[in-house]
Structure 1
Amino acid sequence: MQPTGTGDAGFGDEQSPRRLLGTTTVYEGRVWDVVSERFTLTEDGEAITRDFIRHPGAVAVLVLDDDGRVLLLRQYRHPVRMALWEIPAGLLDEEGEDFVDAAARELAEEADLTAARWDVLVDLFLSPGSSSEALRVYLARDIGDVPAADRHTRTHEEAEIELKWVDLDAAVEAVLDGRIHSPSAAAAILAARVARETGFAGLRPASTPWPEHPSQHSAWPRGAVLGD
């Protein structure tokens, strides 16, 4: 097979709807569900069944201060049994909440910080073979503190959060050395390092549409079964 579009600057992922035969909820969880869907790759193709996590999506924030440092937070993640260095992030679980507002809320809750300048840094699907989770990472600058009286009370794993300011280049080294494993943190750190080369001039505005988020395209009702 010959490579296609080699060297082209305009290539990119695109929506590719296929014929959906049916969807059922296999497991209904506290935060996300596991669904089973039957579909065909072509109009008259064979039926294929795939199980995956139906996820509300998330936002994350790479905070950059005036000294060129990024904010990392250390948090325990039970599925991998590790304390990971991450960036502030959270689920889009507030119905109708604007994406940037959700990012600002997570920044305040997890790091007690505000930001006056927001840009889109990178968009990701974290595990597209097994989950519908879409993640948008913002770059936050012009940092301020949340007043002490307005700070969020962190509980459970969040109560153990440890904050650390790290020079961006040192953070890049930590990613490449295999010392940072969080996909959102790794992608954000590397993207910020590249963006810094042009003074962040090429970043998209925070208001840029996000058509890849499930809420912006085919969002099937929980437990719905669609006929042929």
Structure 2
Amino acid sequence: MENKIKRLSRELKFKGEILEFYQDTMEIDGTHTATWDFIKHKGAAAVVPVTDEGKILMVRQYRNALERYTLEIPAGALDSTDEPGISCASRELEEETGFRSEHLKWLITLRTTVAFCNEKIEVYVADKLIPSRQHLDEDEFIEIQAYTIEELKEKIFTGEIEDAKTISSLLAYDVKYRKNK
């Protein structure tokens, strides 16, 4: 099965700030070719920020692809492909929430859309939050809201939260850090 599929060529079709779009010509089982789309992503990191009261800080922001506001954990793209995920998560925590932490712990690594994209998101948990200030990009308008994990799970199961990284991260946090509560 390993040798049934082989890439014959890869052609760059579009290069953006965080994405590159390619069309690959693939040989299938030595009998025919197919054209597959591939999106190269430079990577990202996210963080589950937990307050001393056990609430999770969430960001409410507009998402152009959905044409509406969403409720998500703080996250952002790596500055470069070799930036450590923990550095990006720490930066995004402070930029988006106005808090920082010296206690980031790895939670999970996600591959968001494996059928056509190589995006990888490393997710961390931050506690012992230290007040700082937001450093939003000029095109970011973010509102911070704090919720219990039970409130967030209700929002997941009623369909209010649809973002895959947020759902995966919150449920992983619940299992890993709250399993005995």
TM-score (norm 1): 0.71
Query: What is residue 13 of structure 2 aligned with on the other side?
Result: 26
List runs of 5+ in structure 1 lacking aligned partners.
Answer: 1-15, 200-228
Indicate if the aligned counterparts of 1:169 and 1:193 stay in contact, CA closer than 8 A.
no
Higher relative contact order (CA 8 A, sep 6+): 1
Indicate if the aligned counterparts of 1:40 and 1:47 stay in contact, CA closer than 8 A.
yes
Query: Distance in 2 between the 1:178 and 1:46 partners?
Result: 42
Indicate if the aligned counterparts of 2:79 and 2:88 stay in contact, CA closer than 8 A.
no
Within 5 Å, give how 1:83-94 maps onto structure 2.
83-94=69-80
Within 5 Å, give how 1:162-201 maps onto structure 2.
162-198=143-179
Deviation at 1:102, TM superposition (A): 1.1
Indicate if the aligned counterparts of 1:110 and 1:154 stay in contact, CA closer than 8 A.
no
What is the aligned length? 180
Query: Distance in 1 between the 2:160 and 2:179 partners?
Result: 27
Query: What is residue 138 of structure 2 aligned with on the other side?
Result: 155
Query: What is residue 41 of structure 2 aligned with on the other side?
Result: 55
Query: What is residue 97 of structure 2 aligned with on the other side?
Result: 111
Deviation at 1:38, TM superposition (A): 2.1
Deviation at 1:198, TM superposition (A): 4.3
Deviation at 1:187, TM superposition (A): 1.1
Give the residue type in structure 2 aligned to 1:154: D
Q: Determine what percentage of the aligned residue pairs are the same residue.
A: 27
SS of the aligned residue for 2:172 comes to: helix
Deviation at 1:95, TM superposition (A): 4.8
Q: Which moved more, 1:23-32 or 1:83-92?
A: 23-32
Query: What is residue 79 of structure 1 aligned with on the other side?
Result: 65
Query: Distance in 2 between the 1:90 and 1:130 partners?
Result: 20
Indicate if the aligned counterparts of 2:149 and 2:174 stay in contact, CA closer than 8 A.
yes
SS of the aligned residue for 1:110 comes to: helix
Instruction: Extract structure 1 runs of 4+ deviating beyond 4 A.
Output: none
Residue by residue over 1:116-159, the C-alpha shift from the partner in whole angstroms, topping out at 9 and shown as x without a partner, is: 2222222212122232211111111111122x5xx524321x1x
SS of the aligned residue for 1:155 comes to: coil
SS of the aligned residue for 1:130 comes to: coil
Tell whether 2:124 aligns with 1:143: no
SS of the aligned residue for 2:102 comes to: strand
Seen in structure 2, the aligned counterparts of structure 1 residues 41 and 197 have a Cα distance that, compared at 3 Å, is farther
Query: What is residue 121 of structure 1 aligned with on the other side?
Result: 107
SS of the aligned residue for 1:66 comes to: coil
Give the residue type in structure 2 aligned to 1:60: A
TM-score (norm 2): 0.88
Give the residue type in structure 2 aligned to 1:168: I
Deviation at 1:41, TM superposition (A): 5.2
List runs of 5+ in structure 2 lacking aligned partners.
Answer: none
